[in-house]
Amino acid sequence: MISLHTSPLDQPGTGDAGGMNVYVIELARRLARRGVEVDIFTRATSSRLPAVVRVADGIQVRHVAAGPYEGLDKNELPSQLCTFAREVLRAEVVHPVGHYDVVHSHYWLSGQVGALARDRWNVPLVHSMHTMAKVKNAALAVGDTPEPLSRVIGEEQVVAAADMLIANTELEADQLVRLYGADPTRVDVVPPGVDLRVFTPRRDRSRVRRELGLPEDASVLLFAGRIQPLKAPDVLLRAVAVLLEQDPTLRSRLVVPVVGGPSGSGLEHPESLAVLASELGIDDVVRFVPPVDQGELARWYSAATAVAVPSYNESFGLVAAEAQACGTPVVAAAVGGLTTVVRDEVSGLLVDSHEPADWAHALRRVVTDDVLQQRLASGAVEQASGFAWERTADLTLKSYEQARALMGGADTPLPGAVTRKVAM
């Protein structure tokens, strides 16, 4: 696997680390359990990082030196593609011919390198976009920066080069075909998964709230993720202000934890969300919590009355899937993959706009209607049960097989015990 711009070892929720980091490492773990050896190539961001980290049996993360270790913005990474690609190819040279069977690249920068490795190694390139510039630019958050033309062109090149494209949802598959001219016969839909052992409804909410320092009788509206315009945490805060204006009695029991750190264009003004909370007069109900690991995040989900996902776009919506797996209803924007992950009025509520009044209405329904909340909580667990990393790995292996068959290299099947190596 190639994950150039962000390491699967990084803490999700800040910087460039997010759902893709979780995707890469969790998929790798499930592939390794099926007998696939996985090497993950990522750019080193510190001189102190070891060249190779053995994560688990069959999984290695290889830190590639390409450009300055620190201070390199994601938009500057294209200048280091040649160096990164050279080092990836050099790592393979020490092995016998045919060492890798598949290259699976994540995000367009990695796809550029993956296309070169595919040609050099004569193996299929499977690519996951995760996000797409044309889609993001069509639903740009207020004050956010459009994705540059160089990325659009780079994505078009990767789509044309890939032997197989993996889309998170049917909607993403349609966007690949409609916006990027992808061959529909080379697009597979493989939903990401949730670790159902970590994200589980079997937690006592009262106990978890006590442990997290939350009142047991509170109405907890949680935001989890990177703090940047695309994720729209400001929409939640503005909606909370409207909600409290409409019903001041809620203030005594309302808590709004924001779990995550600044990312992307949000790094330009990392304090902006706290300033907004103060300007709206709701800083007494908002709590800012630094990024946490998956186990701790699951506890926050379990403690919440509802999880808000007001993003302007999501290719899937991993936060929504994880929250539902914990038995917590989700109030989400009706955009992108969220319309697949969340079943409106069954596992959560979908909001057709980013207007604070519309969001306040949806949030009010959840925090004031116990019957609705219980019904959505039950539906959330059922909805999340269909998203498991084991299923993701099985479907991904089928995509690898199909890609290898298209290249005429499937003499030895990948699924099952007789498997070899994947470069991610």
User: What is the rounded CA–CA span in Å between residue 175 and residue 182?
Assistant: 9
361 is in an annotated binding site: no
42 is in an annotated binding site: no
Q: What is this structure's pTM?
A: 0.90
User: What pLDDT sits at residue 412?
Assistant: 58
421 is in an annotated binding site: no
304 is in an annotated binding site: yes
User: What is the rounded CA–CA span in Å between residue 120 and residue 113?
Assistant: 11
134 is in an annotated binding site: no
**N- to C-terminal Cα separation, the chain:** 0
Q: What is the DSSP letter of 214?
A: -
11 is in an annotated binding site: yes
253 is in an annotated binding site: no
151 is in an annotated binding site: yes
User: What pLDDT sits at residue 418?
Assistant: 41
Each of the 424 residues of the chain gets a pLDDT tens digit; together they read 999 988 988 877 666 667 899 999 999 999 999 999 999 999 999 899 999 999 999 999 999 999 898 878 778 899 999 999 999 999 888 888 889 999 999 999 999 999 999 999 999 999 999 999 999 999 888 778 899 999 999 999 999 999 999 999 999 999 999 999 999 999 999 999 999 999 999 999 999 999 999 999 999 999 999 898 999 999 999 999 999 999 999 999 999 999 998 765 444 445 889 999 999 999 999 999 999 999 999 999 999 999 999 999 999 999 999 999 999 999 999 999 999 999 999 999 999 999 999 999 999 999 999 999 999 999 999 999 999 999 999 999 999 999 999 887 555 565 543 445 677 7
136 is in an annotated binding site: no
User: What pLDDT sits at residue 13?
Assistant: 65
71 is in an annotated binding site: no
Residue linked to tokens 């290719």 = 315
Which residues, 6 or more positions from 299, have their beta carbon under 8 angstroms from its beta carbon? 203, 208, 211, 212
Between the alpha carbon of residue 24 and those of residues 181, 345, 424, the distances in Å are 26, 31, 8
323 is in an annotated binding site: no
298 is in an annotated binding site: no
pLDDT tens readout for residues 309-335: 999 999 999 999 999 999 999 999 999
pLDDT tens readout for residues 338-392: 999 999 999 999 999 999 999 999 999 999 999 999 999 999 999 999 999 999 9
Which residues, 6 or more positions from 125, have their beta carbon under 8 angstroms from its beta carbon? 103, 105, 111, 114, 115, 117, 118, 161, 162, 163, 164, 403
74 is in an annotated binding site: yes
328 is in an annotated binding site: yes
17 is in an annotated binding site: yes
180 is in an annotated binding site: no
Q: Are 90 and 122 in contact (CB under 8 A)?
A: no
400 is in an annotated binding site: no
CB atoms within 10 A of CB 11: 14
